[in-house]
Amino acid sequence: MTATSPGTGRPTIYDVAKRAGVSPSLVSLVLRSPARVSDKRREAVRVAMSDLGYRPSRAATTLASSRTKSIGLVIDDYRNLWFVDLLRSMQAALSSHGYHVTVADSQPGENRIHEAIDGLLAMHVDGLVIAAEPGGSMPNRSWVPTVVAGWRNGVPEGADLITGDDDGGGRAAVEHLLMLGHRRIGHLSGTGGAAEHRRKGFQGSIVEAGLEVRIAGEAGGTSEEDGYAAACRMLEQYPDTTAIFAANDTMAVGAFAALKARGLRVPGDISVIGYDNSPLAKSRYLDITSVDNRSDLVGSDVASRLLARLEDPALKARRTLIEPVLVVRSTTAPAAP
């Protein structure tokens, strides 16, 4: 017979039980599988709950059941907005199953991704979604169902991978530019699994078309500043380039800066195409032609995969590829004849 009015003032199942005239166990059962409880008691318990304003304690539930009903999402950088769609569709799919999504960013620069993951694991998340580039090998202690979203180098052993077909997306971008009559096409790349695949797609299409492979920034980052720097190098080395395919929208904006500085107009003098179809690309002002990797689909896939794993942790890892879609906007135009 534990206390009835605990120190914190928050009502507990004991309070609810007392008020409803049932045992605490029954209250717990109502919480977990209401179907197993008779209609009469179930109603009584629910009434008592709302009368008391009862809210279950996550900490206690977690401690007792070792499940938190929460899943962690690790992203690279809040400023890279591609994760927003992913998050939204994950939330939509998971919340109906009672799961909660917590976002942690890996404080770009440092190898803080481990810290982010450790933090989430310390919170006992039931599952992990990694949407960031691991700085090295993934820590694999304390195993929880994990799925990786987007191409990454070093997918942890046993984790699912759900990603857009960045390879295909790269090819789609090139094909669009070829269709517009461009022949001297440059690519701004960067490090990371996603960028590598986009580059591979680019390179493949360019070679097949018998054109010169122009790539810059392969070894750099993928921020706006990196895009700017890569674009500068590109224009220096290949001044006659008529179209640029950037590894993401942010880098595309960096390229805009480089072009503006040189007095080149988009798309008049040079076409630019980005990747991710992020809010940046959708901006009415920027209005960037971009490859949409369907983060919304990736997100719902991630969610259902995670739910499946939560059911059966022994499920064997699987890779899923989502078809990207090119969204043509105002930064690409036919090549000057």
State the nearest-atom distance from the C-beta of 58 to DNA, in Å: 8
Q: Which of residues 205-264 bind a second copy (CB under 8 A)?
A: 224-225, 228, 253-254, 256-257, 260
Please choose which of a second copy, DNA, none residue 121 contacts, taking the beta carbon within 5 to 8 angstroms, the exact cut-off set by kind.
a second copy
From the list 223, 229, 230, 153, the residue with the least C-alpha distance to 192 is: 153
Please choose which of a second copy, DNA, none residue 284 contacts, taking the beta carbon within 5 to 8 angstroms, the exact cut-off set by kind.
a second copy
Using alpha carbons only, what angle is made at residue 175 by residues 170 and 179, rounded to the nearest 5 degrees?
155
63 binds a second copy (CB under 8 A): yes
Q: Which residues of 103-113 are buried (b: 16+ CB within 10 A; e: fewer)?
A: bbbbebeeebb
Distance of CA 284 to the CA centre of its chain: 23
57 binds a second copy (CB under 8 A): yes
Nearer to a second copy, 10 or 233 (CB): 10
Tokens of 122: 């310390």
From the list 46, 111, 105, the residue with the least C-alpha distance to 73 is: 105
Nearer to DNA, 67 or 79 (CB): 67
Q: Which long-range contacts (CB under 8 A, 24 or more apart) does 104-111 make?
A: 104/72, 104/73, 104/74, 104/75, 105/74, 105/75, 105/76, 105/77, 105/78, 105/132, 106/74, 106/75, 106/76, 106/77, 106/132, 108/76, 108/77, 111/135, 111/136
Nearer to a second copy, 75 or 302 (CB): 75
32 binds a second copy (CB under 8 A): no
279 binds a second copy (CB under 8 A): yes
Distance between CA 269 and CA 105 in Å, rounded?
38
What does the binding site for DNA look like in residue numbers (CB under 7 A)? 2-3, 6-8, 10, 12-14, 22-26, 28-29, 31-32, 36-38, 40-41, 54, 56-57, 60-61, 63-67
Please choose which of a second copy, DNA, none residue 28 contacts, taking the beta carbon within 5 to 8 angstroms, the exact cut-off set by kind.
DNA
State the nearest-atom distance from the C-beta of 199 to a second copy, in Å: 23
118 binds a second copy (CB under 8 A): yes
From the list 220, 212, 185, 197, the residue with the least C-alpha distance to 275 is: 197
Q: Which of residues 89-108 bind a second copy (CB under 8 A)?
A: 100, 102-103
Please count the residues of this chain forming the interface with a second copy, following the rule CB under 8 A: 45
Sign of the torsion angle spanned by Cα atoms 197, 200, 202, 205: negative
Please choose which of DNA, a second copy, none residue 209 contacts, taking the beta carbon within 5 to 8 angstroms, the exact cut-off set by kind.
none
Q: What is the DSSP letter of 204?
A: H
Q: What are the residues whose beta carbons fall under 8 Å from the beta carbon of 169, sequence distance 6 or more?
A: 198, 201, 275, 291, 293, 324, 326
184 binds a second copy (CB under 8 A): no
Please choose which of a second copy, DNA, none residue 29 contacts, taking the beta carbon within 5 to 8 angstroms, the exact cut-off set by kind.
DNA
Name the residues that contact a second copy, by CB under 8 A: 7-8, 10, 53, 55-60, 62-63, 66, 68, 78-79, 81, 83-84, 87, 100, 102-103, 118-119, 121-124, 141-142, 224-225, 228, 253-254, 256-257, 260, 279, 283-287
